[in-house]
Amino acid sequence: MNLRHTLLVLSTSCRIPALCVALLASNACSANLDLVEYARVQREKRHPDPESEWNRGGFWKRVGDEPATYIPTDYPESASRTDGEWFEDSRDGKRFFAPKGGVEGVSEIIVRREAIKQSNPPAREPITTTTGIMNMGSPY
């Protein structure tokens, strides 16, 4: 029995008002969108985008192979790569270097965020509480 058939049966039944049928339909559509988004994320995990896609703006410059190694375009290739932070892509091992102090015209924070974005770190688990609201105590 498909969703359309189920909704038709429910809407013709006297026991379930039309509002409930509309609610069921909206929840089903939301679930389908969630599944589409989940499938997209899973596909991206298995097949990272090519460099021509994720480095369209030319922010990163490739300086090594096996594994692919990138530094910001405005960072000199001969400069030290020890004073900063390395990020590794969990999908294909690409490495990105974010130098301490940033590069000309781009702050360290922006370079670091770009490296994190490109390295595709694993998603963090959401923080949950048993009640959903922190118990801060009564102000009285």
Q: How much is the pLDDT for 86?
A: 95
DSSP element (H, E) containing 33: helix 18-46
Q: Please give the Cα distance from 90 to 119 (Å, whole number).
A: 7
Beta bridge partners of 103: 106
Q: Tokens 């559509």 appear where? A: 29
Q: How much is the pLDDT for 34?
A: 74
Residues 92, 119: contact at Cβ < 8 Å? no
Domain boundaries, the chain: 3-46, 51-119
Q: How much is the pLDDT for 131?
A: 47
Q: How much is the pLDDT for 47?
A: 67
Q: How much is the pLDDT for 10?
A: 52
Q: How much is the pLDDT for 37?
A: 73
Q: How much is the pLDDT for 85?
A: 94
Q: Please give the Cα distance from 17 to 122 (Å, whole number).
A: 44
Q: How much is the pLDDT for 45?
A: 64
Residues of the chain where predicted confidence (pLDDT) is lower than 70: 1-33, 40-48, 121-140
pTM of the entire predicted model: 0.56
Q: How much is the pLDDT for 132?
A: 47
Q: Please give the Cα distance from 32 to 27 (Å, whole number).
A: 9
Tokens describing residue 83: 């004073």
